[in-house]
Amino acid sequence: MEKEITIYDIARELDLSPTTVSRALNDHPAVNHKTKQRISEAASQMGYRSNMFASNLRKQRTNTIGLIVPRLDSPFHSSVIAGMEKVANEEGYNLIISQSLETAHKEKANANTMFNSRVDGLLVSLSFETENLDHFESFIAKGIPVIFYDRVADHKDCTSIVIDNLQAAYKATSHLIEQGCTNIVHITGNLKRNVYTDRLKGYKYALVDHDLPFVETNVLISQMTEEAGIEAAQQILRMNPLPDGIFVSNDLCAVSCIKALKKAGISIPKDMAVIGFNNDAISRVIEPNLTTVNYPGQEMGEVALKVLLVQMNGTGERIPGNTIHLRSELIIRESSLKSKASNKKKAIIM
């Protein structure tokens, strides 16, 4: 293994003081241009690498931001990360990304690693299992800002960034009812998380407001994966009577559910109208195209990073906890248009 070149090696090579070399490499005005050029050329030829980590530690900053996501293979979190990286790169920060794999244990380990890596701030979307926030207290005690996004929890010293999941779910369920659906299944995730509890509330409120009964067995709790969509379809096919509408809390699960239902001979949307959530690219590939809630992932990532930078570069005082709401919208496509499918069939018969 080659020895790491230091400023002392460059100083010996050029017969200069280490102080002069250090100043030149940091573009100090006390060193003349010719000397700077000579030192720069020697550093390049010798393979010198600036130790930015040590330099930043002396400044009490590392210019790194930690990010903990539930899963890196999520299209939603990929778009969030794209937004975060865009702002981080523009502002000269590096993003350290880790995934909890939906476990509290891994999330705690990731938080500990981030803390020991001396990140300047932390962004978190909580795992399915997380019940308390103790593993973030070391950051808060040191004045390192922590921001939760999407899957959040209340904390007086932390900011949360979300959409109005209750309202979005209410609109989605109401749309199915307006299409003539009276027996609607809701496929959701772990109810420890705000996104799923709020979407369940929105689903329930829409049923109540349209004088439809809430049926406990119509709520299917799953891991919201592709496999979970197939399993949900199998459960739905065993229901008697069969539902005529399905509201799913993410697009991946919704698409795999549709594929399994179609394979079993169910016509979408004629037999069952389906709505997803997130507006992932897959929602525009499945046939029929999936009605979904547009969840602005990239915008959420950009906003989260910008808010974190404001807190990192503030006065150092704790910023009181608050919640920032972003707007979402229902995007209506063919998968939920039962009335249109019915009218089309009548037109063909005539």
Question: Which pLDDT band holds residue 57 (cuts at 50, 70, 90)?
Answer: low
- pLDDT > 90 in the chain, percent: 77
Question: Which pLDDT band holds residue 350 (cuts at 50, 70, 90)?
Answer: very low
In a domain, 15, yes or no: yes
Q: What is the pLDDT of residues 256-270, one digit of tens each?
A: 999 999 999 999 999
Q: What CATH number has the domain bearing residue 44?
A: 1.10.260.40
In a domain, 58, yes or no: no
Quick one: 187 and 318 in the same domain? Answer: no
| pTM score of the predicted model | 0.80
- pLDDT > 70 in the chain, percent: 91
In a domain, 347, yes or no: no
Quick one: 206 and 172 in the same domain? Answer: yes
The amino acid that residue 33 corresponds to is H
Quick one: 314 and 285 in the same domain? Answer: no
Q: Which domain holds residue 26?
A: 7-50
Quick one: 274 and 127 in the same domain? Answer: no
**So what's the pLDDT on residue 25?**
85
Quick one: 192 and 148 in the same domain? Answer: no
241-249 average pLDDT score: 98
Cα–Cα nearest to 73, from 226, 243, 301, 302: 226
Quick one: 13 and 86 in the same domain? Answer: no
Quick one: 290 and 180 in the same domain? Answer: yes
> What's the CA gap between 250 and 227, in Å, rounded?
13
Quick one: 207 and 96 in the same domain? Answer: no
pLDDT above 70: residue 24: yes
User: Residue 281: left if φ>0, alpha if ψ -120 to 50, beta else—which one?
Assistant: alpha
Q: What CATH number has the domain bearing residue 119?
A: 3.40.50.2300
In the chain, the number of structural domains is 3
Quick one: 217 and 265 in the same domain? Answer: yes
In a domain, 1, yes or no: no
> What's the CA gap between 58 and 250, in Å, rounded?
45
User: Residue 56: left if φ>0, alpha if ψ -120 to 50, beta else—which one?
Assistant: alpha
Length of the chain (residues)? 350
pLDDT above 80: residue 131: yes
